[in-house]
Copies of this chain bind each other. A is one copy, B any other.
Amino acid sequence: MSPTARVYGGVDLGGTKIQTAVVGARGKVLGEAREPTPTTGGPLAVAEAITLAMRQATLAADIDPGALTAIGVGSPGEVDEKAGTVAQARNVSGWDGAFPLGPALAEAFGTRVVLGNDVSVATRAEFELGAGKAYKSIIGVFWGTGVGGGLVLDGREWSGRGAAGEIGHMVVRIGGRRCGCGRRGCLEAYAGRASMEAKARRLVKQGEHTALFEIMEKRGRTRLTSGVWERALQDGDKMAGRLIDQAVEALGAGIASANNLLDVEAIVIGGGLGTKLGDPFVERIREAMMPHLFVDDRPPPLLLAALGDLSGAIGAALVAKAKPSG
């Protein structure tokens, strides 16, 4: 490694895990690491876990932690890019007020830190290096704990007044299922993993049977992870099958709605569940989209995210690379 080579750190801060990557100037992943997101200790503990995971990725890349040209972080919650703070990261335990994550990491690594929205940076990575790289306009759909969306229109990220891309809160059924956001009938109320788990727990209370929670316990989990859903589907669990059917139906309708409005060149499906369930489910979502697509003689290709679990971390590194020091 030449001492003048530019290398970038990328951090994807999720509710379950922290994924880091060291990325070269042309987007190549030189090393990566992951750590569970601390469930106690609040933002300080999370910042320490990020530091640890970032150091591990530099070890894997065989570079000195101090050699990172810049670090990018894709974060949930309200990101203040200028102040370097993150507030209301609700999927991260104990993170309510604004915490100066940028300055904390800048001090730990002696380099500049750039913050961005987790879904936006993942969409950017798929657009620049992943499944969307042949297209000029894409919608990124991240199917995981929630359902996030990112937009690239004519080569540029569209963020509106800062909050665009909330495809998970498009209404697919007026008066429908209650969403984690408190509203009714959102796409995420049917397809978000957190909502699907809540629904499964209600059905069990009503006396229905499922193997979902046994699989969860066997695996030492406290939540229905993507792997738990996958296993239950493989075992032919009826409740899991029905809830996933409803998720696919809602994703199909919501993605069709988004494309009827935007008519983009391609749609990329990522996120924990999207990545875990893979191509067969992208095909099922495509089939659920088609009946709602207004211009259905040239549907946009639905593509599985090519960078998988790494799209967030890579996208964060790309943002760090693109942003001039300041």
Binding site for B on A (CB under 8 A): 137, 149, 151, 153, 158-167, 169-174, 176, 181, 183-186, 249-250, 253-254, 256-258, 260-265, 291-292, 294-295, 298
CB-based closest 5 A-B pairs:
A160-B263, A170-B257, A164-B263, A166-B260, A169-B294
B260–A158 CB distance below 8 A: no
Contacts of A262 in B (CB 8 A): 151, 158, 160, 164, 261
* Given pairs A151-B262, A171-B172, A173-B176, 10 additional interface contacts (CB within 8 A): A149-B261, A163-B263, A166-B295, A171-B254, A171-B292, A172-B172, A173-B173, A174-B250, A183-B292, A257-B257
Inter-subunit contact B174/A173 (CB<8 Å): yes
Least distance between A190 CB and chain B CB atoms (Å): 9
* A172 and B174 contact, Cβ closer than 8 Å, known pairs A160-B264, A261-B164, A295-B163: yes
Closest chain B residue to A137 by CB distance? B160
Q: Which residues of B contact A151 (CB under 8 A)?
A: 261-262
Contact among B257, B258, B263 with A159 in the assembled complex (CB-CB below 8 Å): B263
> Bound complex: CA of A260 vs CA of B176, how far in Å?
17
Name the residue of chain B whose CB is nearest to the CB of A167: B261
CB-defined contacts of A166 to chain B, threshold 8 Å: 260-261, 263, 294-295
Q: Are B163 and A261 in contact (CB under 8 A)?
A: no
Contact of A161 among B163, B165, B263, B291 (CB under 8 A): B263
Q: Provide the bound-state CA to CA distance between A291 and B151, in Å.
A: 24
Q: Shortest Cβ distance from A278 into chain B, in angstroms?
A: 24
**Please, which residues of chain B bring their CB within 8 A of the CB of A185?**
253, 292
- Can you sample 25 A-B contacts with CB below 8 Å? A149-B261, A153-B153, A158-B262, A160-B262, A160-B263, A161-B263, A161-B264, A163-B294, A164-B261, A166-B294, A169-B292, A170-B257, A170-B260, A171-B256, A171-B292, A172-B174, A173-B174, A173-B176, A174-B253, A181-B294, A183-B291, A183-B292, A184-B291, A185-B253, A185-B292
CB of A79 to closest CB in B, whole Å:
14
A79 to B184, CA, bound (A): 38
Is the pair A265, B174 in contact by a Cβ cutoff of 8 Å? no
A151 to B258, CA, bound (A): 13
Contact yes or no, A298 B161, CB < 8 A:
yes
Task: State whether A261 and B165 are in contact (beta carbons under 8 Å apart), knowing that A153-B158, A160-B137, A291-B183 are contacts in the complex.
Answer: yes
- The CA-CA distance from A87 to B166 in the complex, in Å, is 35
Is the CB–CB distance between B261 and A162 below 8 Å? Answer: no
Q: For residue A260, which residues in chain B have a CB less than 8 angstroms away from its CB?
A: 166-167, 169-170
Could you say which residues of chain B place their CB within 8 Å of the CB of A161? 263-265, 298
Contacting residues, chain B, for A165 (C-beta < 8 A): 261, 263
